[in-house]
Structure 1
Amino acid sequence: MPLTLTINTDAWRSHQRSLLADVPGLVPVLKGNGYGFGLDLLAREATALGVGSISVGIAQEVAAVRAGGWTGDVVVLNPWRPFDDAATALLDDPGVIATISRADDLRAVAAEHPTARVIVEIETAMHRHGLDPRNLTAEDFGELTFEGWAVHLPSSGLLVEARRLAATGVSVRPAPVWVSHLSVADYAQFAREFDARMRVGTRLWLGDKAAYHTTATVLDVHPVKRGQELGYHSVKAPKEGHLVIVSGGTAHGVAMAAPTPQRSLRQRGVTAAQGVLDALGRSLSPFTIGGRKRAFAEPPHMHSSMVFVPGATPPAQVGDVVPVTTRMTTVTPDEVRFS
């Protein structure tokens, strides 16, 4: 009775290989929940792509990708901090490349772990991590193996900023530039000017949305009358209809969402409308039953959800499979199937 992610094998892998051909120096990103596919599965896919290095989000993910069969270099994207014991333990691992984003940290690693391999992150318009390379001296690097500069751009990567920051870095110390979020065309131009690598996660694994889909299984169907109490919280049914119990709940990341910028009137209107539904206890679920997304009867449970469908006719049968819209960076399916 699982929440299932089904992958169209040929289409999914064809997209990966097409992007790899368009992006020389591509570095797959494997982090978090493995973009919904799992880190072990993506480690096997990265191995099949034949790339020389991958990136993970945090030090604790290195073991997970290696358990999945990855034997090449691993770049840890989260910058090293002196209080991160897991990251510190990997500084002497010859297959791991640490990211450094502060001058004090660079000097500390050079002094205490002189054999470490490091990438130094340059501060971009994101202002999340990074430093100004012009504030570094040759002595700051010590005997470290310097693998290059990292330029982590906003999601709408700007070629002009990437070029400016990369030029600043290589003027201080020549090395490869590891960049993110450039378009294929912009990266091609960037790579003509610099020894370039491009980290790619979302576009690589989730770029062909038609190549994968998530489904839930109908576990139970119960008729209810208007005003009838239901669920853990004894909410009242708004009208006659059916409760459809489907696989997929909070343990799977179902219905989880991150805040998004409200850049247009339409987006603001959708948010306002959802707020009204939430206030009425009728939050829209990600489950499609009878051709429409239906409202939650109450908040999702750990491994299942209760969905309300109005009408006297049963909308589904136990064992039916129904589509479910999932946020791939938060979902953890019970099963991943290749078709």
Structure 2
Amino acid sequence: MALTLYVDTARWRNHQHHVLQQFPGLVPVCKGNGYGFGHERLADEATRFGADVLAVGTVHEAARTKDYFGRDLMVLTPYQLTEEPVPLPTRVIRTVASVDGVNRLVGARVVIEVMSSMRRHGVSEEELPKLHSALQDVRFEGFAIHLPLEAVNAVEEVIAWMDRLRAARLPLHTLYVSHLTAAELGRLQQQFPQTRFRARIGTRLWLGDHEATEYRGTVLDVTAIAKGERYGYRQQKAAGDGHLVVVAGGTSHGVGLEAPKAMHGVMPRAKGVARAGLATVNRNLSPFLWQGKQRWFAEPPHMQVSILFLPDDVAPPTAGEELTAQLRHTTTTPDRIVDR
């Protein structure tokens, strides 16, 4: 009995094909938990559709993924001067965000990231002249710019950097970009035909068709409970008559874990306040649905299972049935993936 990720494989791959057509030269991204699919599965998919480069998040991910993907690997996290060495094959391309970093990676394949409006990391405009001598000792693969998800003037920001790099007389054969639309990328390619623009895409490629995937947790047990009876690890009292439903999927899978969200507008903020208020009295909605409604946790999820409370006016599921779960792919690790 398991928390399962079901994949409509034909539909999922059709979406991949559509994205690949929109973004010629696309570099697929496989980082973190592999967007819920795992590194091995996504490496296989990238191999299947002929990717020449697969981007991963860290050197440790590169060390694991090198056995699944036989072509070039690009590490997105920039090289750190103090990092401990990790054995990697020569086909690994390192991202570098400082001139000192370039100087340290003699003989390595490198992509140099410039500072975008993200203000996260990158080489500044003032440092560009120092790159001339540094580039002589590395295998330079191109520049990169990581843009915000909600960039106001994304194309203009890239154009400004192209002008700076050109003014500094640095090689502009390839620029790796993130978070641009196909139309924006096409505009840049038309304006700078001598530069190859390559989009690095993860979420849009693997998760862009929400109907292609579905999480489901198996119901393991169903127990009737009366108002006032105690239950669970913390021996809370049942608020009313009903049923406790034990379903596969707990904190080890990512159930109950949630990344902070940026809220815009009055209504989303009001809903956030309401959820926080309910949580203080141990009322938390689970990601599991039954009869079309999201159901409440009876108590905080356990490591591998969750316990839900269904009031007595709701007919409970039976053991062996599956409940659909609304889970975030990037924080969920299912027990198994089933293609259908």
| Shorter-chain TM-score tier | over 0.9
Shift of 1:86: 3.9
For structure 2, the 5+ residue unaligned runs are none
Secondary structure of 1:329's match?
helix
In the alignment, is the contact (CA less than 8 A) between 2:102 and 2:138 conserved in 1? no
Shift of 1:190: 1.6
Structure 2: which amino acid aligns with 1:77? L
Is 2:155 the partner of 1:163? no
Structure 2: which amino acid aligns with 1:151? I
Aligned equivalent of 1:330: 331
In the alignment, is the contact (CA less than 8 A) between 1:134 and 1:168 conserved in 2? no
Aligned equivalent of 2:286: 285
The number of equivalent residue pairs is: 331
Structure 1: which amino acid aligns with 2:327? T
Per-residue CA deviations over 1:266-322 (Å, capped at 9, x if unaligned) read: 110111111121011110000001221111111100100000111155411011111
For structure 1, the 5+ residue unaligned runs are none
2-structure distance, mates of 1:191, 1:300? 49
Is 2:139 the partner of 1:145? yes
Shift of 1:82: 2.2
**Superposition pairs of residues 215-294 of structure 1, within 5 angstroms:** 215-294=216-295
Shift of 1:156: 2.3
Per-residue CA deviations over 1:113-135 (Å, capped at 9, x if unaligned) read: x2101111101111111121441
Shift of 1:195: 1.7
2-structure distance, mates of 1:7, 1:22? 23
Identity of aligned residues (%): 39
Aligned equivalent of 1:121: 113
Aligned equivalent of 1:53: 53
Shift of 1:170: 4.1
Is 2:179 the partner of 1:178? no
1-structure distance, mates of 2:85, 2:318? 49
Shift of 1:325: 0.7
State TM-score, norm by structure 2. Answer: 0.94
Structure 1: which amino acid aligns with 2:37? F
State TM-score, norm by structure 1. Answer: 0.94
Shift of 1:191: 2.1
In the alignment, is the contact (CA less than 8 A) between 2:66 and 2:73 conserved in 1? no
Runs of 4+ in 1 over 4 A off after TM superposition: none
**Superposition pairs of residues 29-68 of structure 1, within 5 angstroms:** 29-68=29-68
1-structure distance, mates of 2:320, 2:13? 30
Pairwise CA RMSD of aligned residues?
1.4
Aligned equivalent of 2:14: 14
In the alignment, is the contact (CA less than 8 A) between 1:242 and 1:312 conserved in 2? no
In the alignment, is the contact (CA less than 8 A) between 2:55 and 2:200 conserved in 1? yes
2-structure distance, mates of 1:129, 1:135? 13
Structure 2: which amino acid aligns with 1:260? K
Secondary structure of 1:244's match?
strand
In the alignment, is the contact (CA less than 8 A) between 2:103 and 2:137 conserved in 1? no
